[in-house]
Amino acid sequence: MQVRRADAMGMCFGVRDALAAIEQVDEPGTVTIHGELVHNGEVLQMLANRGFQQSGEDLRDVPITEGVLITAHGVSNRERRKLRAAGKQLLDTTCPLVHKAHEAAQLLEAEGRRVIVIGRPDHVEVRGIVEDLQNAVVVKTEQDVVTWPEQALGVVCQTTTPSERVDCILLAIRRANGHADVRLIDTVCNPTKARGAALEALLPQVDALVVVGGSDSNNTRQLVLRGERRGIPTLHIENASELVPEWFFGREVVGLTAGTSTLPATIDAVHEQLIRLAAEVVPSSS
Ligand code: SF4
């Protein structure tokens, strides 16, 4: 059995920079991470061990600590005002590409368009974008698309949406709203596009795929779906301990990729374990 890594995978600069900012916090016990910093259980446990409070995904309550860390997923300006009004010191690690998605949505609204956000309605990034808009709607699939009465529609995307899904949903929006002028601002981030493209290039070369990333991570799930849609047996794991030797029996070439919040050390540990399995459990025929 051989192991092939995707050319682009794993941690993006947005998550890396957020983690670097967190490293600089001297008194973790005085800071609440507002929402999940990353959808990665290992990282969240590490932060809890350092003493950070974590407010969870719903962001309903104002944290009790003096410091509040806004995660790479961002929050609405309304939420920022609420926190500042409560006297909180904000440490803002919002990814610049999430800021761009907010700006794009607000620009479209300023043009008089009803804004449609392609993404998961329950995702903290999407909620942050929508909360600052008047009349936005979120569509997750083509089935959510309807005919809206407005003459002008503006479309943005959750930054981790696969480009193919954006294309399909945009087509459905245009078909159902032939009366309207529809403008897309593509806010899918480049790291997401690069990881998707690298996986597409890898899939024809492998007969099985391992994807490393948090079970709640949107972009990790999208990588898993890409493998499954191509009919490639795909194993989604959070770390090397979940690798089951039996799963690899009979595999010739196993591909490896990882979501944007996966630590480099976690990927390397998985890679090393795969190489051990290849040598010990499933000897290569080549
Ligand atoms: S996935 Fe994209 S938008 Fe999200 S933090 Fe990473 S670079 Fe930024």
Task: Tell me the per-residue pLDDT of 89-135, one tens digit each, with 9 for 90 and over.
Answer: 999 999 999 999 999 999 999 999 999 999 999 889 999 999 999 99
**Is pLDDT of 13 > 70?**
yes
Q: Are 63 and 32 spatial neighbours (Cβ–Cβ below 8 Å)?
A: yes
The answer, yes or no, to whether any atom of ligand 1 lies below 6 A from the CB of 260, is yes
**Is pLDDT of 21 > 60?**
yes
From 159, 262, 263, mutation site for ligand 1 pocket: most ligand atoms within 8 A of C-beta: 159
Residue identifier of the C-alpha nearest atom 5 of ligand 1: 14
Is the sign of the CA dihedral 78, 80, 92, 61 positive or negative?
Answer: negative
**Is pLDDT of 282 > 80?**
no
Dist. CA 74 → ligand 1 center (Å): 10
Query: Is 246 labeled as catalytic in the residue annotation?
Result: no
Nearest to 55 by CA among 27, 77, 83, 78: 83
**Is pLDDT of 281 > 70?**
no
Mean pLDDT of all residues belonging to the chain: 92
From 260, 261, 262, mutation site for ligand 1 pocket: most ligand atoms within 8 A of C-beta: 260
The answer, yes or no, to whether any atom of ligand 1 lies below 6 A from the CB of 65, is no
CA–CA gap between residue 267 and residue 276 (Å, rounded): 14
The predicted model gives 62-66 an average pLDDT of 87
Stated pTM of the model: 0.88
Bigger pLDDT: 218 vs 76: 76
| pLDDT given at position 31 | 92
Nearest to 117 by CA among 180, 169, 164, 190: 169
What atom of ligand 1 comes closest to residue 159's alpha carbon? 3
The predicted model gives 196-213 an average pLDDT of 95
| pLDDT given at position 63 | 85
CA–CA gap between residue 33 and residue 172 (Å, rounded): 38
Q: For residue range 24-58, list pLDDT tens digits in order.
A: 999 999 999 988 777 777 788 888 899 988 876 66
Q: Are 182 and 174 spatial neighbours (Cβ–Cβ below 8 Å)?
A: yes
Nearest to 218 by CA among 75, 38, 47: 38
Q: Which domains does the chain have, with CATH numbers?
A: 2-9+191-280 (3.40.1010.20), 13-95 (3.40.50.11270), 97-188 (3.40.1010.20)
| Percentage of the chain lying above the pLDDT 90 cut | 77
